[in-house]
Amino acid sequence: MTPFSVLVMGGSLGALDALHEILPRISQNFSAALIIVLHREKEESGGLMPLLIRNCAVPIGFPEDKDSILAGHIYVAPPNYHLLIEEDHFAYSMDEPEDYARPSIDALFESAAERYKNRVTGIVLTGMRQDGARGLAAIKGHNGEAIVQSPLEAIGDGMPLAALRAVPNAKVLTLREIAEFVASF
Amino acid sequence: MNEEDQQSVEVSTEIDLEDIEVRLLLEAIYQRWGYDFRDYAPISLKRRILRIVEIEKVQSISALQEQILRDSSLMQRFLNQLMVSVTSMFRDPHFYLSFRKLVMPLLKEKQQLRIWHAGCASGEEVYSMLILLHEEGIIDRVRIYATDLDQTGLDKARQGIYSIDSIKEYTENFQAAGGKTPFSNYYYSGHGNAVMRRDLSENVVWAQHNLVTDASFNEFDVIFCRNVLIYFNEKLQDRVHKLLHDSLTEDGILILGRQESLRLTSHVPNYSALDRREKIYQRIQ
């Protein structure tokens, strides 16, 4: 069995809309594991999951502590915890927010890079501030692939710009291209 | 070997070194101070240790190890930093709604109650429960044991002093959690702080207890152990579950954190789920 690819994706402002572009394109033959961290206000969190689930052809949900990471699944970080990868499963922490965020994109990306090395693709979507930049650099440092949503079309260009400062040779894609890329697995 | 390959070898060597350093540090701490972190979940532990290395401005994890063997105040600071858990009152309002609906009626049937908050950190969850018990009119029947490994957190919890900036969030959470009274009934404000009402915590015993190395010390009608087990590896989770099971009355209630479950332990058959989503379990054997 060839090891599956691990896609880690993070964003904040505007990223929920981005997911509605990306997730419906994923077919039931999806062969990677996709792990998503979004920063969001508490009020949103109730409404987010049902919408995503309805639009999804593969199993999607909040992982529980120590759940295995499986190909063909989409995992979403629940609010208020950092979601980490440890060996072949998920781990949680309630450490303080990083860059004002919990879940932190950096925390997920860094732990994914350390575990899955060149099997990881990190994708930084639209968003404010700079969470994700350090994590994307860690992914690149472990020979993974780095993708950044084009700051020109991103609703929040803070995150894409910070990610490009940290990883100048990251691939810059439009949201449509990112959706096609993810769906190609 | 091209340049890129060489780089990747160097990166992975560095990573392995850190893992070795972490293991040695934990062994040193255990042998010198008796705190056993060896079966903690490795990734979150390593992230915290690397942050402590940064805060303490030491060169490496090994350098931290050398100093921590000789410096008890550094060990204390290490413990404080390691135990940082940032939470709020009435976090997860849905949980409190469910607790009120499913567990409160069971508690009201009893004349005397014991509740254990295992891993109470700085006390936000304890005060949330005290307020709930007060609203339901059974606070006088309850003795609460609030324990944590970290004395600094316990001291803060005992004082019950929180930043006034958090009160807006706590108030909103409390209302969402079905609070019937104004949240302002339960604290006094002054000097930028909210001080929890003294009489709320009259029946609380605050004590140091280590879930990893200490034994069961009483039988409880309800045990809260929320967002503590996430820091343990599977082997240690199973061991702590035995301790929790041993510490529950025959029909006692066990409450875990939102992303935690019994699934990984050998104690699944000992419980029935009152609310699987909110992780409220009742002991059946």
Q: How do residues B24-53 score in pLDDT, each as one tens digit?
A: 999 999 999 999 999 999 999 999 999 999
B117 in reach of chain A (CB within 8 A): no
Query: Which pLDDT score, from 0 to 100, does residue A98 have?
Result: 87
Cα–Cα distance measured from residue B195 to residue B278, given in angstroms and rounded to the nearest whole number: 29
Rounded to a whole number, what is the distance in Å from the CA of A142 to chain B's nearest CA? 6
Query: Which pLDDT score, from 0 to 100, does residue A171 have?
Result: 98
pTM for the complete prediction?
A: 0.91
Contacts of residue A84 in chain B, CB cutoff 8 Å?
Answer: 43-44, 47
Does the beta-carbon distance from B231 to A117 stay under 8 Å? no
User: Span A150-171, mean pLDDT?
Assistant: 96
- pLDDT surpassing 80 at residue A1: no
Residues of A recognised as catalytic: 12, 39, 131
What mean pLDDT value characterizes chain B?
Answer: 92
Pull the structure tokens for residue B142: 């309850």
Does the beta-carbon distance from A93 to B231 stay under 8 Å? yes
Contacts of residue A65 in chain B, CB cutoff 8 Å?
Answer: 229-230, 257, 259-261
Q: Find residues 9-28 of chain B whose CB sits inside 8 Å of chain A.
A: 11-12, 15
Contacts of residue B42 in chain A, CB cutoff 8 Å?
Answer: 86
B231 in reach of chain A (CB within 8 A): yes
Determine which of A7-11, A176-180, B165-169 has the lowest per-residue pLDDT on average. B165-169
Mutate to test the interface with A, among B232, B259, B260 (most CBs of A within 10 A): B259
Q: Which of A95, A114, A142 sits opposite B48 (nearest CB)?
A: A95
Q: Closest residue of A to B87, CA-based? A: A94
Is B154 buried (19+), middle (13-18) or exposed (0-12) by CB count in 10 A?
buried
Please report the beta strands in chain B, taking only residues with DSSP state E, as ranges in sequence order.
113-118, 142-148, 161-163, 187-190, 193-196, 204-208, 220-225, 248-256, 271-275, 280-283
B230 in reach of chain A (CB within 8 A): yes
Rounded to a whole number, what is the distance in Å from the CA of A17 to chain B's nearest CA? 25
Please name every residue paired with B232 in a beta bridge, in sequence order, or none if there are none: B40
Given a contact cutoff of 8 angstroms between Cβ atoms, the answer to whether A3 and A71 are in contact is no
ipTM > 0.85 for the complex? yes
Query: Which pLDDT score, from 0 to 100, does residue B8 have?
Result: 47
Query: Which pLDDT score, from 0 to 100, does residue A55 have?
Result: 72
Query: Which pLDDT score, from 0 to 100, does residue A43 have?
Result: 45
